[in-house]
Structure 1
């Protein structure tokens, strides 16, 4: 507790932190499942400061190691890293500090363990503990498998008496079991915290014109806010970033096809500057510690619930209200099904991918609380949250059996009578009785189902197709054209042995409460919401001081202080250095380093 207060500036541990820390300090192993923003890093940082020796942290986040070390150095913690970005001189400096017991924490990329010199170096120093961050990377069932993580069993084999702590922000029961098995942590103490992130509002909107929908979200609810937009393809990333810039929203692209220097520059700008939007593929984001990401948007369907949870979890690490928004439509389902059918790997691999997609589709199509569905995926029970789109504007379900039979009958007749398969648009035209040139030319106006679907509009029929695909009652050919086919389950619907319940879309997608939206207009940061006028003005002065200080030091603003700490300072207005030291997040090092400047800023 003394280390927690003196170094990190916190008065109490949260949740299982104290028990986890006690376990590791006593020399025991631990496997920790805790959500993003739940305080995982303290679970190994505090024991590393208490136990003799250096805490060795295995992390895949090479691009972020410098920021992690900078953040610890700002707290007075002696930290360093070894990875492929360093030259020989810098590596030697860090190695010398480690051997001289001058480091509290040493960060290593997992591939460094393939280098015999690294293992020799660790063998010559005193190790306080091994922390395996992003431990889900060891699991082939999970969403971010990294082969180098399979070598981490060497830690236990060569250093059996050094405690190990493995940590991840997401894991189903299957992933949890695989992590424990592969890292030889089946006998460790396992800690599973609640995965609930109550400050995040989950919303899934029917995809219409996704970039325009995104622009509306950003301009009406998140003006001036930092956020992340995920796209499936590199081309979509670049086009979306340009679209936002064309509409006066500062945005940067990030994907694996960009030059490494461009990626590094864009990531550094996102971390260090206020109000930037990063448009990226899933190559971006793991380990991003930026606490004031106010929204995470997906313009394409994520491949798994674990991936979706991990990506949306990058919003609101500071605990302030944030948005997780996804645009989802028929083409997403068609594309994902086709990608699975044409993917490399054996049948078991494709079944795994299919199971991930089915769970993601179930989350998209649910008529109940999104949060309840999301937490249930991780094996955790909960009650309706009142803060997701299905709670704020509950959709209705309807008996879509007859509609499903009409659609499936059309597919059946085209397959049996004509030996042909077509995409959703053509099938909908037939059901609506549209004598388009193509329908007429192909003779499909003579089908018995022609014009049988005029009780539903075009968009409603596309919703039926999407939901039948989601339920596995309709399939997609792997021909690259999105042609639809029957599945073994289709027969149950056609015979009347299976009832099909479908979701009515809400009249209008749910938004944040109006008061929250209007209070944000004009680019005011979320952190000022709830502060009175005087405190808000002080917060802005502190924010300006922090920005200048961070720029001068070449570090992200949150390395100086988080918004939550500035909020508390603005509310309490401490008059002395000692009073400042009582604020959450102000440890001894930061109090002594920044205290005089803060008091000047408070004085106006």
Structure 2
């Protein structure tokens, strides 16, 4: 616990947030920003980015240096962050469209009075002339302490979440010289980092890059074979009663999947940009406040979602790139407890993603980069080695040769491999012969019919039953051939072309056809359920407690349940998500240690001074009664 010789930053961390020590690079970042330095912070979701600006904001405000303005892209995130800060005794506010004119005027008065410690606002509001004029006034009085630009990857056209309004934030460097600026993001490759630095004028900022590893997340990628049923089976085996997110590519699929899961007994809500704003808000609020809900969504849902107990993130369609995939899967397990990232992936996903790139109105350079990003994601999907190694390598992190995470499907159940060189040559030959014979390309279904000698109206009409490749692949099943073609596309030996995106040979196919390149592929399989989530002889997994709670004795679990019931009442009374009052890990530690005094309770991680004063005696009564 901090003592008299502790740094001001560490004192704030303990007094306000109830933590005894910083994690990773947090201490370096906080000290650098308190001293007035600019910074670029890359830290994975759940790594504690918010504290990197909240602690300096409090320190600089206490030193008379004024308010911290936080650029935040989402209303829901602003509400939750402000609610959490106010619960911790820090005066914070937001400016967004949810406020009426009286509410806006009240916040502006608080801002100009100097009482606010942090103000959250969207980029378009911050760069509005009227708001800039207020910031000018604060700056002239020395009351503008810090700019924190959250989700900074949104400024990059190369990134997966580009937002044009972020481009205007360069004005902060020009107009408010001397005010430190802190840009934060959870995912950014080399191109995106360079864009952040350039567009936000952070050339002289110190960069802090944390490890991108999220060891508590287990990565699993399966070959599609009726993806909805695969998802349902997995949820029933692994995640009964858990909160999670299921991502789909289209709005229609989101609605159909949410409705279907609900009919199967899994409470699910849809979320996409086509829904009315009020419905989106209501569904998001329910997801944040209720336990055990599944949100089925497009990528319109998720950025800035702070819910810590999301136990799984599933993808029913292939994302566009690894940055998007990593950002989305990172929404699971923010509390550090075990979480799953599961994805079903098939040949149609590959073709669809390539089609969307080809048909976009972007320039050739951008399309070339997007194809490269997609290829990296396909390589991850088809990899035979550790998934985590591939992910980390993409973000520039290397692991020793032969290192295995032992928390992904490839490490836990090493995939069977087979020498597919001959099968690959047959597939490539069939693509070539069909194109040579007809003068144009064909889709995978027709090519597989030719390979397997399956007579159809189309094979007869095209005269393909007389080709030398007719029936040369009868030894493999249709799913096996789909896997071969999908992996040849992922390896770059097959590409798509034309209006109908038919299959064609890439330049590298020649070496394969000549036998100069060996092709080793993974055999498709469904992973077996984890033993930790199913008891012997059970048919469905029970609801899993956090690991600390799972180790409690019978009396401890009774106290934990009583604390959760009390927290739910407090959260409802304050109109906040339950985790903002206290997270599960804090409640589990209370239940385990059973503190008998307020001083003992102050030693629990996550119990700051304001929460101790507000809830301390209530908690002691609940613990005694439990």
| TM-score when normalising by structure 1 | 0.97
1:14 match: 23
Moved more, 265-274 or 347-356: 347-356
Aligned to 2:349: 332
| Structure 1 residues 478 and 338: CA distance shift in structure 2, 3 A | farther
The CA distance in 2 between the partners of 1:19 and 1:522, in whole Å, is 42
Identify if the C-alpha distance between structure 1 residues 501 and 478 changes in structure 2 by more than 3 Å, giving closer, same or farther: same
Matched, 1:486 2:499: no
Q: Identify which range, 549-558 or 419-428, moves more after superposition.
A: 419-428
Q: Of 432, 445, 457, which aligns to 2:465? A: 445
Write the distance in 2 (CA, Å) between the matches of 1:63 and 1:300: 26
Unmatched runs of 5 consecutive residues or more in structure 2: 1-9
Give the superposition deviation at 1:279: 0.3
Distance apart, 1:82 and its partner CA: 1.2
CA contact (8 A) 2:160 2:323 kept: yes
Q: 2:496 aligns with which of 458, 465, 476?
A: 476
Total equivalences in the alignment: 601
Partner of 2:526: 508
Determine the C-alpha separation between the residues in 2 that align with 1:497 and 1:385: 33
* Residue 58 (structure 2) pairs with residue 38 (structure 1): no
Q: 1:501, CA displacement in angstroms?
A: 2.8
Contact kept in structure 2, 1:203 and 1:510, CA below 8 Å: no
Output the CA distance in 2 between the equivalents of 1:363 and 1:271: 31
Aligned partners of 1:98 and 1:532: how far apart in 2?
49
Distance 1:92 1:470 in 2: 55
Q: Distance in 2 between matches of 1:533 and 1:364?
A: 43
Of the three residues 256, 262, 274, the one matched with 1:257 is 274
Q: Give the SS at the match of 1:120.
A: helix
The one of 603, 610, 621 aligned to 1:589: 610
Alignment-derived partner of residue 116 in structure 2? 103
Q: In the TM superposition, what are the counterparts of 1:218-229 in structure 2 within 5 Å?
A: 218-229=235-246
1:87 to 96, 100, 107: 100
Cα distance in 1 between the residues matched to 2:301 and 2:588 = 29
Counterpart Cα distance in 2 of 1:600 and 1:215: 42
Residue 225 of structure 2 corresponds to which residue in structure 1? 208
SS of equivalent to 1:450: coil
The one of 580, 589, 609 equivalent to 1:568 is: 589
Aligned equivalent of 1:310, options 327, 336, 342: 327
Q: Residue 496 of structure 1 is aligned with which of 502, 508, 515?
A: 515
Separation of aligned partners in 2, 1:32 and 1:173? 14
Any residues of structure 2 matched to 1:145-184 within 5 Å, and which? 145-184=162-201
Aligned pairs for 1:357-436 within 5 A? 357-382=374-399, 383-436=403-456
Confirm or deny: 8 A CA contact 2:533 2:542 kept in the other structure.
Answer: no
Asked whether the 8 Å contact 2:237–2:529 carries over to 1, the reply is: no
Deviation at 1:437, TM superposition (A): 4.2
Q: Which residue of 2 aligns with 1:543?
A: 564
Deviation at 1:441, TM superposition (A): 4.2
TM-score (norm 2): 0.94
> Please, which runs of 5 or more residues in structure 1 have no aligned partner?
none
- Please say if residues 71 and 126 of structure 2, whose CA atoms lie closer than 8 Å, have aligned partners that are also in contact: no
Pairwise mapping of residues 104-119 of structure 1 onto structure 2 (< 5 A)? 104-119=117-132
Number of the residue aligned with 1:65: 78
Name 2:367's counterpart in structure 1: 350
| Match status 1:299 vs 2:316 | yes
Q: CA distance change for structure 1 residues 478 and 69 in 2, over 3 Å: closer, same or farther? A: farther
Aligned-partner SS, 1:145: coil
Contact kept? 1:225, 1:293, Cα under 8 Å? yes
Query: What's the CA shift string for 1:334-367, capped at 9, x where partnerless?
Result: 1111111111111112112101100110110110
Q: Equivalent residue for 1:77?
A: 90
- Quick check: 412-421 or 144-153, which moved more? 412-421
Partner Cα separation in structure 2 for residue 111 and residue 258 of structure 1: 23
For 2:54 and 2:520, the matched residues in 1 are separated by 50
- Whether contact under 8 Å (1:342, 1:478) holds in the other structure is no
Distance 1:549 1:113, change over 3 A: closer
SS at match of 1:41: helix
C-alpha separation in 1, matches of 2:79 and 2:498: 44
Deviation at 1:575, TM superposition (A): 0.9
Deviation at 1:370, TM superposition (A): 0.3
Q: Alpha-carbon deviations, 1:41-88, whole Å to 9, x = none?
A: 111000110112111101111232112111110000100111233221
- Aligned equivalents of 1:139 and 1:209: distance in 2? 36
- How big is the shift at 1:386? 0.6
Aligned pair partner of 2:262 in 222, 245, 252 = 245
Equivalence for 2:3: none
Partners in 1 of 2:330 and 2:15 — Cα distance? 29
Tell me, what secondary structure is at the counterpart of 1:179?
Answer: helix
Q: After superposition, give the CA deviation of every residue in 1:189-245 in whole Å (9 maximum; x if it has no partner).
A: 110000000000000011111111111121111111100000000000000000110
* Offset at residue 108 of structure 1 (A): 1.4
* Whole-angstrom CA distance in 2 between matches of 1:486 and 1:524: 49
SS of structure 2 residue aligned to 1:518: coil
